Amino acid sequence: MIQFRSRPGFDAEASVIFLTEELMKAKNFKDFHWASLESELTAFSSSKQFSGKGCELFPLSSGRQIILLVGLGKEAELTSTAIRSAVRKAVISSYLRHAKSVELIMGQGRQDDETVIAMIEGVMIGGYAWKKYKKPANSDNLAALEKHYTIVASEKKAYHDAIRISEGVNLARDLVNDNADLVTSTYIEKTVKTVVKEQPEITLEILGPKELKAQGLNLHLAVNQGSANEPRLILIHYHGSKNKTIDAAIVGKGLTFDTGGLNLKTTGHIETMRTDMAGAAAVIGTLQNVIALKLKKNLLFVCAVAENAIGSKAYKPGDVITGYAGKSVEIDNTDAEGRLVLADALAYVDKNYKPKRIVDLATLTGACVVALGYDYSGLLSNDPSLAKQLIDAAQKTDDRVWQLPLYPELKGIMDSPIADLRNTSNRKGAGTITGAYFLQQFIDEKTPWAHLDIAGSAFCEKGINRMYFDYGATGAGVRLITEFVRSL
């Protein structure tokens, strides 16, 4: 779908040229190696119809070929995020709807890795749209990802890696966007088996209801007991190194639908609760990337899958349940269910596999949206070095995080008079922090651990402008964790 070459060819059905304001003012277009275009751009610059402002579009025509000019704004303000956004706006524009082949040309000969990878992600991540159940308006209108792209840049392995990573992002998005009655625990299990099929470095371990009960993962079972679908704890062992130690365990919350349980969610909050398995989806997307990149690491990928349904068998407020770690939990609110499933998964992984570090991803708290909005995932960790590694990976990939604190004064916030702790805080505020504090109680204090709350970043709601994302799942965490495990 994407190929590379070092010089423009202007032989595609459409050529897209990205220009800064400074380049338009300078009127220096010799880098395009096309005399007639150079002359036309020079004259066009003088007309001031196109100035190169951010995401400004202006079409030209040369015979049957479309030349689309795209503004990047001021050079000093140009970021990789802005490049992704400009590329996205170009590839989904109506000017290119009939073009089967598209050439992407960055003005001023910019071919550095950061720019080219941003262009790739602008196409593959920005061009993604969830339309599985939508009838095409016109069969001649090609979706952005159905086109063939040529990026003007010398071919490199890093660019093909970026394509593979983007495919992992979009796999996660497909899983989150589809119907909850389709993407059940068995569907997720089948997806994992498809991803790891015929991979000799993979060992698969799946715990169903019997195994979960035998092992004492009662918190996980309680959350799922109102559902007609079985729960799963899926553990995928990736053996990329001869060492026996596990470099990292990546654990994802997989609530295939969250009604809130008997503490039922209200209108305005329940409609998109198929997204509550975005953590597990990110784990699967990252797994696909790690296999494609053939990383020389030992990794454990974990999907803790359940459905929080309502009914006569659903677990109830006031119940006291003892989980895998041997700690009893008073259920104060059945809508604080993700932390229960994760608590069992984290304790099980920590005790039985002793990874060097654990990272979990979860759409855990609405409070994270209040605190950070939609563009950043919340990061909380018991280990400064691990937190820094994740922050560095976030800055490199534009899969953003912002660290929130865990501190000694939190002790006692989840005390219960009838159990070891309860699943919600006895104080107001700081919901993201208290949710992470609950999880921390199920991790050995010596194990480096980080929690990523992707409640805001995992999904793009209708009417919310989100950089280079369309409505629906964003694949939050996939680029971040892929880069994180690569850098270990």
Catalytic residues: 265, 339
Q: What is the CA angle 185-174-307, rounded to 5?
A: 25
DSSP state of 264: P
Which amino acid, 247?
D
CA dihedral for 459, 465, 470, 475, sign (positive or negative): negative
Q: Which of 386, 368, 406 is nearest to 450 (CA)?
A: 386
* 3-class secondary structure, 213: helix
On the CB side of 211, CA atoms within 13 Å amount to 11
Sheet order of strands, 148-152 included: 2-5, 148-152, 101-106, 14-20, 65-73, 57-62
- Give the separation between CA 180 and CA 171, rounded to whole angstroms: 16
Q: Which of 219, 215, 259 is nearest to 235 (CA)?
A: 215
What is the spatial distance between Cα 437 and Cα 414, in angstroms, rounded to a whole number?
A: 9
E strand intervals along 11-82: 14-20, 57-62, 65-73
Q: What is the DSSP string of 266-328?
A: PTTTSTTGGGGGHHHHHHHHHHHHHHHHT-S-EEEEEEEEEEE--STTS--TT-EEE-TTS-E
Retrieve residue 175's tokens.
Answer: 């899983």
Lay out the sheet containing 401-403: strands in order across.
202-207, 232-239, 298-308, 248-258, 358-362, 449-453, 377-381, 401-403
255 contact partners, CB below 8 Å, separation of at least 6:
223, 273, 276, 277, 305, 306, 307, 308, 337, 338, 341, 363
How buried is residue 412: exposed, middle or buried, by Cβ count under 10 Å (0-12/13-18/19+)? exposed
Angle between helices 384-397 and 478-487 (to 10 degrees): 120
Determine the Cα–Cα distance for residues 122 and 85; give it in Å rounded to an integer: 6
Tokens of 413: 């916030």
Give the tokens for residue 320.
């006291």
- 287 exposure class (CB count in 10 Å sphere: 0-12, 13-18, 19+): buried
CB 454 within 8 A of CB 374: no
